[in-house]
Structure 1
Amino acid sequence: MQRTPRGVGHSPARRDVRASPVRRDEAVIIVVMTFVFVVALIVGLYALLVMGPEVSAQRALKKRLRPADPIKKSRLTLPASELRERGATPFKAFRKLIDQSGLRLTVPALIFMCWMAGFVVGLITWMLTARAAVAAFAGAAAMTLPYFWVRYVASSRLWKFEEQFPEAIELVSRALRAGHAFPTGLSMVADEIGAPVGPEFKLLHDRQNYGMALPDALRAFAERIPILDARFFVTAVLTQRESGGNLSGILDSLASVIRERFKVKRQVKVISAHGRMTAAVLSALPPFVGLSQMVIAPDNFKLLFSDPLGIKMLLGALVLQAVGMLVISKIVNIKY
């Protein structure tokens, strides 16, 4: 007659019964988060694909016809602290960044993209790690990705604008020497030069053509294009309108100065290319090594997510990686 060993019997079934409420709760949470994700995705796609073109067209029309903001009239002379006190909000900053990028986006669409990026990354991280703190940290970091993407597009567009700007100024100068008026020169630039200079000059021409005073339209142009060359152009035109002088000669001199400044910028960019490449390699090396470990030795990589010490090490590595990237970017990005 055999005896049943101790510990053998119905205890595994009891453990399964005890663990079933936890698994049931996890399944409910996954179902609810999936439902919220699908609903948000459908609403976001409808807003971007259906309502987006209509909103962008209406916004473009209002942007051309709206009067100048009295606050913006003095933006060239007021300090930044006083401008902040006059009511600058994060939504205005988002709107300004989107205008500078030239993307057909709205502020709600950008906020929705940030929220969706954080939600998707946080959900995937939570499903992999089952730890709310790690998922929240990953989601918060992913929420900044759409914003930095729009910021990168805006900086690239401003760099291209600065490269095309001397050609636009010379075209206006030639139009003035040929006997045309200054608004006609702006219209010629809008018709003959491509983006991003052409659309910006078209907006400048349309604003003054629809009734806005030319000084106000020029100040709005300088506010919309935050580069030093655009401020030089606006200052030169406004000074000539008040005191008189040969505007075509002033614009020719300004175009030559801008070309020389841009040549120096290119030289600095070439000299600092090695440092920027080193910064890119050093910034991409830790994530690349982590993904390689995940593919080559997934069992060892899971310790970072399953062990509490591994999670602390991972969070510390992410913080140090972010700090290192900021320090390297400050070193290699030379102000000129």
Structure 2
Amino acid sequence: MAAGQQSRPFEPAIIKDEKGRGLYRLSERLAKLPEARAACRLPDSLRLRRRTRSFYPDLWLVDQAKRRGRLILKELPVYLDFITLMIEGGLNLTGAMQVAVDKGPPGPLRNEFSVMIRDLRAGTSKTDIFRRFGERVPLPEVRSLVSALIQSEDRGGDLGPALRAQAEQRREERFLRAEKMALEAPVKLLAPLLAFIFPITFLMLAFVIYMKFLQEGGF
């Protein structure tokens, strides 16, 4: 660039006429003004609302995932009992899962076993099916079940004893979770008692004492 020649601002190649270039340079200058930047800035309330809206779906998804996990852990012993009884009665794994799906309670675990039945009928190996089941349901109890089933399948053993042991273990864990929730209930009830019940009780007692004091001519 020659000395003394001023550098011109970047102009889009699509603007070919001089009037268009002038309007483009004018819009650039206006955009650099503090008033223009302040006008383009979103209000704090609107930004907070957008952040809240983007944060709420994440909370909803986390809550739904936890609810799904609780339902699966609640239904798992029942389905394992069904499958164990059918396998010990002479059915193969596909037939046992189909009976469990037909007779078991509706829920997310029923859908998962339906997916496993579809994969078994499609010719997928049992090891891959068990592994996919553990990936879809990332719970420690389900991972323990998947590990036991994969080990039994790799060793060529019968799935009946492994499923029965897993059913008993899952049932004991469900009982322990229920016992833990029962022990935590008094602690969770303490906050509502302090916030709502105790103040109302004190107000009622204070009102009775005040009325009795008035009847006796205390004032």
2:51 corresponds to which letter in structure 1? A
Contact 1:172–1:186 at 8 Å: present in 2 too?
yes
CA deviation string 1:137-159 (max 9, x = no partner): 23312321122123212211210
How much does 1:171 deviate?
Answer: 0.9
1:270 corresponds to which letter in structure 2? A
Question: What residue in structure 2 maps to residue 261 of structure 1?
Answer: 173
Q: 1:172 aligns with which of 59, 83, 89?
A: 83
Q: Please report the RMSD computed on the Cα atoms of aligned residues, expressed in angstroms.
A: 2.7
3-state SS, counterpart of residue 144 of structure 1 = helix
Distance 1:280 1:245 in 2: 54
Distance 2:125 2:143 in 1: 17
Name the CA shift for 1:188/1:223 in 2 (closer, same or farther; >3 Å). Answer: same
Question: What residue in structure 1 maps to residue 121 of structure 2?
Answer: 209
Question: What residue in structure 2 maps to residue 60 of structure 1?
Answer: none
Q: Does 1:192 align with 2:103?
A: yes
Question: What residue in structure 1 maps to residue 63 of structure 2?
Answer: 152
Structure with the greater alpha carbon radius of gyration = 2
Name the CA shift for 1:264/1:208 in 2 (closer, same or farther; >3 Å). Answer: same
Distance 2:191 2:60 in 1: 19
Q: Which moved more, 1:249-258 or 1:135-144?
A: 135-144
How much does 1:281 deviate?
Answer: 9.6
Q: Which moved more, 1:269-278 or 1:145-154?
A: 269-278
- TM-score normalised by structure 2 residue count: 0.63
Q: Does 1:237 align with 2:149?
A: yes
How much does 1:204 deviate?
Answer: 0.8
How much does 1:221 deviate?
Answer: 0.5
CA deviation string 1:198-217 (max 9, x = no partner): 11100011012113222111
Distance 2:192 2:55 in 1: 19
Contact 1:169–1:255 at 8 Å: present in 2 too?
yes
How much does 1:186 deviate?
Answer: 1.6
Contact 2:127–2:153 at 8 Å: present in 1 too?
no
1:241 corresponds to which letter in structure 2? E
Contact 1:229–1:258 at 8 Å: present in 2 too?
yes
Distance 1:192 1:280 in 2: 41
CA deviation string 1:16-56 (max 9, x = no partner): xxxxxxxxxxxxx9xxxxxxxxxxxxxxxxxxxxxxxxxxx
Name the CA shift for 1:142/1:277 in 2 (closer, same or farther; >3 Å). Answer: farther
1:214 corresponds to which letter in structure 2? K
Q: 1:133 aligns with which of 36, 44, 47?
A: 44
Name the CA shift for 1:274/1:154 in 2 (closer, same or farther; >3 Å). Answer: same
Contact 2:82–2:96 at 8 Å: present in 1 too?
yes
3-state SS, counterpart of residue 245 of structure 1 = coil
Distance 1:139 1:158 in 2: 30
Contact 1:190–1:200 at 8 Å: present in 2 too?
no
Distance 1:276 1:250 in 2: 38
Name the CA shift for 1:186/1:148 in 2 (closer, same or farther; >3 Å). Answer: same
Distance 1:153 1:277 in 2: 24
Runs of 5+ consecutive residues of structure 2 not aligned to the other structure: 1-38, 197-219
1:220 corresponds to which letter in structure 2? R
In the alignment of these two chains, the number of paired residues is 155
Q: Which moved more, 1:147-156 or 1:267-276?
A: 267-276
Q: 1:248 aligns with which of 160, 185, 189?
A: 160
